[in-house]
Amino acid sequence: MKHTRYYFLGIGGIGMSALARYFLHEGCPVAGYDRTPSSLTRALEAEGAAIHYEDDVRLIPAEFLDPETTTVVYTPAVPQDHSELRHFVEGGFRVEKRSQMLGHLSEGKYVMAVAGTHGKTTTSTLVAWLNRALTGGGSAFLGGISKNFGGNLVLGDGERLAVEADEFDRSFLRLNPDVAAVTSADADHLDIYGTHEAVKEAFAQFVRQIRPGGSLVVKQGVDILVDNPAISVWRYAYDTPCDFYARNVRLVEGGHYRYDLVTPSGVVEGCTLGIPGWVNIENAVAAAALVWCAAQHEGRQLDADRLREGLASFAGVKRRFEFYLNTPQQVYMDDYAHHPRELAAALTSVRAMFPGRRILALFQPHLYTRTRDLYLEFAEALSHADEAIVLPIYPAREEPIPGVGAELIAERVAVPCRIVEREHLAEVVAAMETDVVVSFGAGNIDACCEAIAGALAEKVRSKK
């Protein structure tokens, strides 16, 4: 590329910040806008990015105002009437979506893409970690903060590139992967797609874009059309026999599981994943299937010992089954789940991890449109807990919709449930009789985690 400077609109997003970090690593000047400061923007500023937090063309650094040298990258979450975006479009700048830039950077790589309406962040991060464990190399653009790598960007030797393929705004259709996983294709982002059928058609198109000679790894039972005759198709599941699955699954200490991994070329016995929850065993089966396909492409077999070591040493992703407290007296964990299916899967997984214990779920709905479309399913999912608290809706990019509020969910939950404002959440939870507490949501509920953990830890100390 002749352009040497990169300006990011929405630079604090998890996917955008990974791209910004990549260009900073390459020695390119980077600047950008985001609506609010965050740990991600502060980290980027410490690495050399110039960031401001007000939509004002006058705040764009002068060296980024030349269309001959500056490429502009934006997230679809930035509205089309954003004044800085309009300035760049009308000024003849090269303006690309994040997904387009990711497509450019994936050229010449063996692209290992993970798609799905849920499960893709943990799975793609585990693919990146297994690539490192098995080959010593591999790169990745991740949709979460990997605890093993300490970030969302991985730079390493070799041609393997793990990426999270995001279905929002049909972004994943900018990719042409060599091997891809589809973890789920549930009704989501209906503000973009309109219908569930349109969601499934987008996933079918994603499958058609897998390169000839490549492979698809799709979860058993996922209902999408697979009509790419130039690829191999493999099925995976948690413990249902198919091409890849876990057998002899047994719960061990701390909510972890031990299992045998069944693959088309044999069984890897005695696997233990480094993070808890049966749902993560399912994600690990998908990740192992992808690295198995990569090994087949390279003409070699999986090293069973290194695979076991990689699974056991996987530390997980921030805000995915992240424990703050885990004692016999009190458990508190936080998770990013924001779709009914993943919320239900997380709660049933927690129930299996802590049998017989009382579960309190804290949930912040994300987006008015998602709440409007799925409030019945959210209520059903929260009913897997023993008690629930629902926060007001986090709007993100949306304006309020008349008649759509947290009450739509809370009034339909089948267990005791109430609405609590976010600023009062920690004190309300601290005043309750609690055992296992789990917070969920993709908004800003995570800003409460430290306060909740501190209040619960103090309550445990006071009882001793």
Q: Which domains does the chain have, with CATH numbers?
A: 5-98 (3.40.50.720), 106-312 (3.40.1190.10), 322-463 (3.90.190.20)
- 157-178 average pLDDT score: 85
User: Residue 156: which residues within 8 A CB-CB, separation 6 or more?
Assistant: 131, 132, 136, 137, 138, 139
**Cβ pair 49, 38 in contact under 8 A:** no
- Categorize the per-residue pLDDT at 464 as very low, low, confident or very high, splitting at 50, 70 and 90: low
Angle at 15 between CA 191 and CA 37, to 5 degrees: 95
CB 282 within 8 A of CB 240: no
Burial of residue 253 (number of CB atoms within 10 Å: 0-12, 13-18, 19+): exposed
**Is the distance from CB of 124 to CB of 163 less than 8 angstroms?**
yes
Cα–Cα distance measured from residue 334 to residue 391, given in angstroms and rounded to the nearest whole number: 15
* Summary mean pLDDT of the chain: 91
State the Cα–Cα distance between residues 354 and 327, nearest whole angstrom. 11
Reading the block at residue 11, the tokens are 């630079």
Nearest-angstrom CA–CA distance, 69 and 31: 13
Alpha helices (H) in 298-424, listed in sequence order: 304-312, 340-353, 368-382, 407-410
Cβ proximity of 379 and 412 under 8 Å: yes
- Whether the per-residue pLDDT at 1 is higher than 50: the answer is no
Q: How far apart are CA 139 and CA 213, in angstroms?
A: 22
Better-scored residue on pLDDT, 279 or 296: 296
* Global model pTM greater than 0.85: no
| 43-78 pLDDT, tens digit each | 999 999 999 999 999 999 999 999 999 999 998 878
Least confident of 141-145, 252-256, 436-440: 252-256
Q: Which amino acid appears at position 364 of this protein?
A: Q
Largest CA distance in the chain: 67
Q: H/E element holding 154? A: strand 151-154
Token readout for 204 is: 């079918």
User: pLDDT for 199-233, tens place per residue?
Assistant: 889 899 999 999 999 999 999 999 899 999 999 99
Output 101 or 77, whichever has higher pLDDT: 101
What is the rounded CA–CA span in Å between residue 249 and residue 270? 10
